A and B are shown apart, each in its own frame.
Chain A
Amino acid sequence: AQSVAQPEDQVNVAEGNPLTVKCTYSVSGNPYLFWYVQYPNRGLQFLLKYITGDNLVKGSYGFEAEFNKSQTSFHLKKPSALVSDSALYFCAVRDITSGGYQKVTFGTGTKLQVIP
């Protein structure tokens, strides 16, 4: 079974400060990891993914994420937060040993509030 934990329901950060949204995962094999963002009453938008290689992954809108295999973590980061970054962020995982099955499991989400 695969699972994702997002330990913080909400993260508050001042505009211009760095932000981190935490995520840990559990899979039986090696993971594909994803971050998605959701604005109110909208679908999920893809931000970035980790497949293999460099542990620091860069994505859309200046976001990046750091994969740490020993800690089974995939934290989302941004050097300088914008008010427009305020949204709901979801971490997701897929076990690459699932073969042709592409079930992706999502965390419960973290609400990011950037304060002007």
Chain B
Amino acid sequence: DAGVTQSPTHLIKTRGQQVTLRCSPKSGHDTVSWYQQALGQGPQFIFQYYEEEERQRGNFPDRFSGHQFPNYSSELNVNALLLGDSALYLCASSLAGSGTGELFFGEGSRLTVL
């Protein structure tokens, strides 16, 4: 049973650039959530996608955008990168009909902005 997979695992960008992170959910899951985890902090909710639509969003600027594809995979895009965007970006999948919303996480994409 394939778990949540994320790519790339590590990447380095410079200020002002744009980045795209990718996520494939656990087999059978239809909901993808993205979290940002800065060093030494807990995961912060960015947004959640279900049925190819963003249905909840955390306190992140419009520079953060996403997409969900018909196969339930998802992308996180960040434009005009800032130094403060350096973090571990975690993708988590869940099943909308499960009720509990238990999340299954990928290993994350570590973004360094120079």
Asked whether, in the complex, the Cβ of B104 is within 8 Å of the Cβ of A90, the reply is no
- Residues A43 and B33 in contact in the complex (CB < 8 Å), given A101-B48, A107-B42: no
Asked whether, in the complex, the Cβ of B103 is within 8 Å of the Cβ of A104, the reply is yes
Number of A interface residues in the complex (CB < 8 A):
24
* Chain B, Cβ-Cβ closest to A41: B110
- Residues A49 and B43 in contact in the complex (CB < 8 Å), given A42-B107, A44-B90, A103-B48: no
- Per the bound structure, the CA–CA distance linking A56 and B9 in Å amounts to 37
A102 at interface, CB cutoff 8 A:
yes
Number of B interface residues in the complex (CB < 8 A):
29
Instruction: List, in ascending order, chain B residues with CB within 8 A of A90's CB.
Output: 42-43
Q: How far is the CB of B59 from chain A (nearest CB, A)?
A: 11
* Chain A, Cβ-Cβ closest to B104: A46
Q: A residues engaging B (CB < 8 A)? A: 32, 34, 36, 41-46, 49, 51, 90, 92, 94, 100-109
The 10 closest A-B pairs by CB, nearest first: A102-B101, A43-B105, A106-B42, A44-B105, A108-B42, A43-B107, A106-B43, A103-B56, A109-B42, A94-B101
